[in-house]
Amino acid sequence: MALEIRLLGTLEVLRDGRPLPLPPSKKTRALLAYLAADARARTRAHLCDLLWDGPDDPRAALRWSLTKIRPLLDDDRVTRITADHDSISFERTGKRARVRYRSPRPQRGIRIVPVSGVTMRYRLLLSASIAALMGAAWMALWTMGAAAHASMHHHHHGAASSGAAPLTAMLGFVAGWTLMTIAMMLPTSLPVLATFATLARDRADRTGLVTLVVIGYLLTWTLFGVVVWLGQQAMPRLAIGGSVILLMAGIYQFMPLKHRCLEKCRSPLSFVIEHWQGRRERWQAFKLGLDHGLFCVGCCWTLMLLMFVVGMTSLAWMFALGVVMAIEKNTQFGRRISAPVGVILLAWGAMTLISF
């Protein structure tokens, strides 16, 4: 019996051309897609880190998902899911299994193949491109220095009446904010970008789609920068504003909304499968970037606002905060630092408020 798995759209599993009912769990579907897309055996620890942020026992969640996947992929004659104590893989050699990456022309189906050297080189190229953008942003921030952020610095001290036109001041602020976003936040989106690029590896327009994801991501942060600029105009005095930002950032470290957004960011494969609908590919890629940016703003917006407290032109603080956000978003260790960072911010905010 021929098995076909269709990715980068609404996930479908077909046996002899007939669609099979899928498990309702999005995590289980993401696991199925990941095993099908990558020929290599994966450790249980890796799969748990990749897909499960919330459960108390990720390994139990993984075992439960495997019980839902096996009836779809296995049959009386063929066992395609192989698992031992440490690793899990999808066996496909000689099993008449096929994966299809959706495209405007459905005939572009390809048989499952291992992740090739070409794919690995593309991921390295993607990482190098993001690093180059980040480096250029850091260089621009360093070169321009205080002069490039004059409008932000004046607003930071409540000097909105410096004579600059409001629109000019806003554009200057948003330009600087976007540079900070590229320097601090874009590198943290690399897991989602790499996952999307891997799933789209057999599309001729893969680079264009990845570019649209990046544009959507940066646009979300840029629009948030406009909101920040407008909100800053309402801050009458820096000292009170700084105390409020510190206390707000500290409290937000413990809020369920932040941790829900972090869960989305820590599960890149699940996120891509959930938010890629496969219709109007260019728009969907752009919207994927918007959605990822929205969740990224949701987990990091208060930490980004700390730049108003420590100084908008401080590269050292930009780097430190960028490292904290990268660890919190993309590593399992990030769960352990959220609460300590929150306590530090609350204590700092309380001291600032008392001294005022």
pLDDT in tens, 155-191: 544 444 445 577 888 888 899 899 999 999 999 999 9
Number of domains in the chain: 2
Looking at the structure, tell me whether residues 341 and 209 fall in a common domain: yes
* ∠ Cα 206 208 213 (to 5°): 95
Domain limits for position 323: 117-355
Residues 79 and 148 in one domain: no
| Separation between Cα atoms, residue 322 and residue 337, nearest integer Å | 14
- Of the residues 70, 91, 111, the one at which a domain ends: 111
Does residue 179 sit in the same domain as residue 266? yes
Q: Calculate helix-pair angle for 26-37, 44-51, nearest 10 degrees.
A: 130
CA distances from 108 to 67, 96, 195 (A): 31, 17, 20
Please report, in angstroms and rounded to a whole number, the separation of the first and last CA atoms in the chain.
Answer: 74
Looking at residue 182, its amino acid is I
Using one digit for the tens of pLDDT, what is the confidence trace for 29-49?
888 887 877 667 788 887 887
Q: What are phi and psi of 351, to 5 degrees?
A: -65, -40
Confirm if 218 and 186 have CB atoms less than 8 A apart. Answer: yes
9 shares its domain with 106: yes
Radius of gyration of the chain (CA): 23
Q: What is the pLDDT of residue 113?
A: 36
Distances (CA, A) of 63 to 28, 83, 85, 88: 10, 10, 11, 11
pLDDT of 264 > 50? The answer is yes
Range from 22-31, 213-222, 257-266 carrying the lowest mean pLDDT: 22-31
Segment 3-13 shows an average pLDDT of: 74
- The domain boundary, picked from 111, 131, 150, lies at 111
CATH number reported for the structural domain that contains residue 100 in this entry: 1.10.10.10
Q: How does DSSP assign 339-355, residue by residue?
A: HHHHHHHHHHHHHHHHH
Contact assessment for residue 200 and residue 9, using Cβ atoms and an 8 Å cutoff: no
Contacts of 14-21 with CB under 8 Å at 24 or more apart are 15/75, 20/72
Looking at 70, 90, 111, the residue that finishes a domain is 111
Cα–Cα distance list, 53 to 106, 234, 267, 269, 333 (Å): 35, 37, 7, 12, 11
Angle at 199 between CA 193 and CA 201, to 5 degrees: 95
Average pLDDT over residues 280-290: 90
The answer to whether 309 touches 321, Cβ cutoff 8 Å, is: no
Q: Which residue has the higher pLDDT, 155 or 316?
A: 316
Q: Are residues 168 and 106 in the same domain?
A: no
Lowest mean pLDDT across 104-108, 118-122, 171-175? 104-108
Structure tokens at 214: 């990046």
Residues pairing with 53 in the sheet: none
**Residue 226, Cα to own-chain centre: how many angstroms?**
21
Instruction: Tell me the two tokens of residue 129.
Output: 């491109």
**Same domain flag for 150 and 44:** no
What pLDDT sits at residue 108?
A: 36
Tell me the C-alpha distance between 337 and 339, whole Å.
Answer: 6
Q: For 10-14, 83-87, 222-226, 291-295, which range has the lowest pLDDT when averaged over its residues?
A: 10-14
Instruction: State the average pLDDT over residues 244-256.
Output: 93
The percent of residues in the chain predicted with pLDDT above 90, rounded, is 32
Q: Which range scores top for mean pLDDT: 150-164, 165-179, 220-234, 293-307? A: 293-307
Mean pLDDT of 78-96: 75
The band of 277, judged by pLDDT with boundaries at 50, 70 and 90, is low
Higher pLDDT, 325 or 100: 325
223 and 334 belong to one structural domain: yes
pTM summary value: 0.74
141 shares its domain with 9: no
Q: What is the pLDDT of residue 1?
A: 57
Are 103 and 170 in a shared domain? no
Mean pLDDT of 263-292: 83
Token readout for 283 is 């728009």
Least confident window among 4-13, 66-75, 83-92, 194-203: 4-13
**pLDDT attached to residue 311:** 81
Residue 105 has a pLDDT of 39
> Of 3-12, 262-271, 335-344, which range is least confident?
3-12
Residues 94 and 136 in one domain: no
pLDDT bracket for residue 98 (50, 70, 90): low
In angstroms, the CA 25 to CA 165 distance is 52
- Tell me what pLDDT residue 92 has: 63
Per-residue pLDDT tens for 138-149?
A: 999 888 765 544
Contact call for residues 127 and 147 (beta carbons, < 8 A): no
Asked whether residue 246 falls in the same domain as residue 308, the answer is yes
Contact 221, 181 (CB under 8 A): yes
One domain for residues 173 and 247: yes
Task: Taking residues 193-218, report their average pLDDT.
Answer: 88
